[in-house]
Structure 1
Amino acid sequence: MRVLDDLDELASLTGEELGTSEWLEIDQGRVNAFADATGDHQWIHVDVERAAAGPFGGTIAHGYLTLSLIPYLGSQVFYLETAGAKLNYGVNKVRFPSPLRVGSRIRSRVVLGEVTDVPAGRQLTFRHTVEIEGHDKPACVAETVVLLLE
């Protein structure tokens, strides 16, 4: 894991790949728990029998489940060791280019985007590409924004 602790050095890392997380298997239990938490019980996610005959040959993870795993996967790649508070400020762009079949393994490849001075401190963007093992297209591509307060 890479520790980012020098605010002045951050700008020089713009565009640099910070690393890749470990693989994480997406199982049906995780998908069902997410369905329960969000109330999204669409059959394509939770009905194993019906989904087997569906367009993907099995159940798929919710796109927002994949997105919600980015902080966990990213924490395996880098840690911001700064004095002030760190806030998840938002997401600029999100796409789900490929369905994520239950039983697949994913990992996140992280690139530091922009580092911008703002009145409250620094704003960082990170580009996450959530890869599916053995697939050309990723499950999710997202640009997240972190605000570092002074």
Structure 2
Amino acid sequence: MRELKGIAAVEAAVGEELGSSEWMTINQGTIDAFAESTGDRQWIHVDPQRAAAGAYGSTIAHGFLTLSLIPKFSAEIFAIEGVSMRVNYGLNKVRFPQPVPVDSRVRDTATVREAVRGTSGTQVIIGHVIEIEGTDRPACIAEMVLLLVE
């Protein structure tokens, strides 16, 4: 895990890859729990028999399930210390180039893209690429904006 001590260390890391998370298997239980908690029970996610005859040959994870793993993966990749508060401020860009078939393994690689000091704190953009083991295209590409307060 990469430890960044203070906003100056975050600023110095702009342009650097912070590392990658551990691999995580996305099983049907995880997909079903996400469907239940969000109310998104589309058959492509929760009906293995119907999905087997569909375009992907199995159920696939929700794109937003994949996106929601960023906080978990981030905690494995990096820590920012020496700030009084760290807030998820939003997202600049999110794309889902490749679906995640059930029982696939995914991991995240994070890169510091930008750090801009402002009156309410420092906005830090972290680029995330969530890859699927054994495929060339990522499952998710996202820019997460964090607000750091000294």
Moved over 4 A (4+): none
Task: With the length of structure 1 as denominator, give the TM-score of the two structures.
Answer: 0.98
* 1:13 Cα deviation after fit: 1.1
Deviation track 1:90-137 (CA, whole Å, cap 9, x = no partner) reads 000000000100100000011001000010121100000000000000
* 1:74 Cα deviation after fit: 1.1
* Structure 2 CA distance for aligned equivalents of residues 24 and 87 of structure 1: 25
Map of 1:71-150 to 2, 5 A cutoff?
71-150=71-150
What is aligned with 2:67? 67
What is aligned with 1:31? 31
* 1:83 Cα deviation after fit: 2.9
Identity among equivalent pairs (%): 52
> How many equivalent residue pairs?
150
* Structure 1 CA distance for aligned equivalents of residues 94 and 136 of structure 2: 18
Q: Secondary structure at the match of 1:76?
A: helix
* 1:15 Cα deviation after fit: 0.9
Q: Is the 8 A contact 2:6 2:83 kept in 1?
A: no
What is aligned with 1:8? 8
Deviation track 1:10-69 (CA, whole Å, cap 9, x = no partner) reads 222111000000000000000000000010000000000000000000000000000000
CA RMSD of aligned residues (A): 0.8
Task: With the length of structure 2 as denominator, give the TM-score of the two structures.
Answer: 0.98
Q: Is the 8 A contact 2:7 2:83 kept in 1?
A: no
Unaligned 5+ runs, structure 1: none
* Structure 2 CA distance for aligned equivalents of residues 82 and 124 of structure 1: 15
Which amino acid is 1:14 matched to?
V
Which amino acid is 1:83 matched to?
V
